[in-house]
Amino acid sequence: MIALGAGAAAFAAMDGVAAAGEAAASPAAGGLPTKNLPSDAELARSLPGNFRSHHADVNGTRLHYVAGGQGDPLVLLPGWPETWWADRKIMPALAQHYRVIAVDARGQGASARPQDGYDKKTMARDVYELVRQLGYRSVNIAGHDIGAMVAYSFAANHPDATRRLALLDVTHPDQSLYELRMLLPPNTGFNMWWFAFNQVQGLPQDLLTGRFWRVIDWLFDNSLYDQSNVSAFDRAVYARAYDNHDGIRASCAWYQALNQDIADMKTYGKVTVPVLGMACPSEFEHVRTTLANVASDVRGMVPVPKSMHWLTEDDPELVSRTLTDFFG
């Protein structure tokens, strides 16, 4: 259990209590309003490890990141539909060994939402320029979901800046995405409908602005190992970041760039840095076989049995321990 700051703790005490907000403050998951949430700066300070919130202008955009701890640099990249807060449970433990840098990617959280640049190669360049601006020649890097795609692209395009790479539950987009089925037979798997829905230009933000908390609720209600692993407060933090027209547009752009990502993947050779894979049971075999084809130095493939996708939130102890063992 993380220690929340005073503002976050007071808000968290409201979990499960319906609150009527102003029209401009959409109801977040669990019936909580997003308007009076603690800021990213307050959330960062609530974590053990002397974490602080920062911004940096890089590669023509502005990135938000939270940094804390001491030691070799470790970059953490979260996925959709989350923010740097997705790593809140592992950041304090990792900060005992590393300088942890949890990044909101282009279009995510408190980072800027430009009109373009959402292919993973450009997003990886954003992170590379951030790393250089912070004074590091090379970093360890770990990503989950969309963040894993960016992390792999970082290693593929900037190998000299990559010490070690960890991919959590997802690999870089490749031809296999064209085989995703829109209709599944009963009881044969989880329908990842958002890959298709998020491809539609303009429609998601028109339909979901002010309602995106419903997507967050649906995803967590249907794919958390234990519902207590992501509280109503946590869901509200994510809803604040996405429950607006520009936030939805930018996050959908990550998916609308998948064709370019697949084309870019064809130009990459195998990454040569040491690689670790972690995955929930349903994704384990896919991640394992994919890594064998795209990385020449796979040091391990670790199952996370008590998770259904949200590895850092479902089993933070296993994830933080495994990452510490791998990054050294």
**How many domains are there within the chain?**
1
Give me the CATH number covering residue 181: 3.40.50.1820
The arithmetic mean of pLDDT across residues 166-195, rounded, is 92
Beta strands at 27-28 and 32-33: parallel, antiparallel or unpaired: antiparallel
* Burial profile 3-41: b = 16 or more Cβ within 10 angstroms, e = fewer: ebbebbeebbebeeeeeeeeeebbbbbbbbbbeebbebe
Query: How far apart, in whole angstroms, are the C-alpha atoms of residue 104 and residue 112?
Result: 9
* pLDDT confidence band for 2 (50 / 70 / 90): very low
Neighbours of 309 (CB within 10 A): 24
Phi–psi pair at 277, nearest 5 degrees? -115, 145
The answer to whether residue 278 is domain-embedded is yes
Tell whether 227 is covered by a domain.
yes
Distance of CA 112 to the CA centre of its chain: 16
> What single-letter amino acid sits at 158?
H
Mean pLDDT of 41-63: 99
- Answer whether residue 17 shows pLDDT above 50: no
Does 260 fall in a domain?
yes
* Residue 105 within a domain: yes
What range does the domain containing 166 cover? 41-327
Residue pair 68/51 in contact by the 8 Å Cβ criterion: yes
Cβ of 292: how many Cβ atoms within 10 Å? 13
308 lies in a domain? yes
What's residue 33's pLDDT?
A: 65
What is the average per-residue pLDDT within 265-274?
98
Mean per-residue pLDDT, 275-290: 98
Average pLDDT of every residue of the chain: 92
Q: What is the mean pLDDT of residues 44-51?
A: 98
Residue 106 has pLDDT above 90, yes or no: yes
pLDDT for 293-304, tens place per residue? 999 999 999 999
- What single DSSP character describes residue 271? B
Kindly report, residue by residue over 233-264, the tens digit of the pLDDT.
999 999 999 999 999 999 999 999 999 999 99
Residue 2, in any domain of the structure: no
Write the DSSP symbol of residue 27.
Answer: E
Band (pLDDT 50/70/90 cuts) for residue 35 is: confident
Q: Taking the mean position of all CA atoms in its chain, how far away is CA 179? A: 24
Contacts for 325 with CB less than 8 Å, ≥ 6 apart: none
**Rounded CA gap, 310 and 148, in Å?**
13
Tens-digit pLDDT profile for residues 84-99: 999 999 999 999 999 9
* Averaged pLDDT for residues 4-19: 38
Q: Is residue 17 part of a domain?
A: no
7 located within any domain: no
Per mean pLDDT, which range of 17-26, 27-36, 138-147, 273-282 is the poorest? Answer: 17-26
pLDDT per position as a tens digit, 189-225: 788 999 999 999 999 999 999 999 999 999 999 999 9
> How many percent of the chain have pLDDT more than 90?
85
Integer Cα distance of 47 and 2 in angstroms:
7
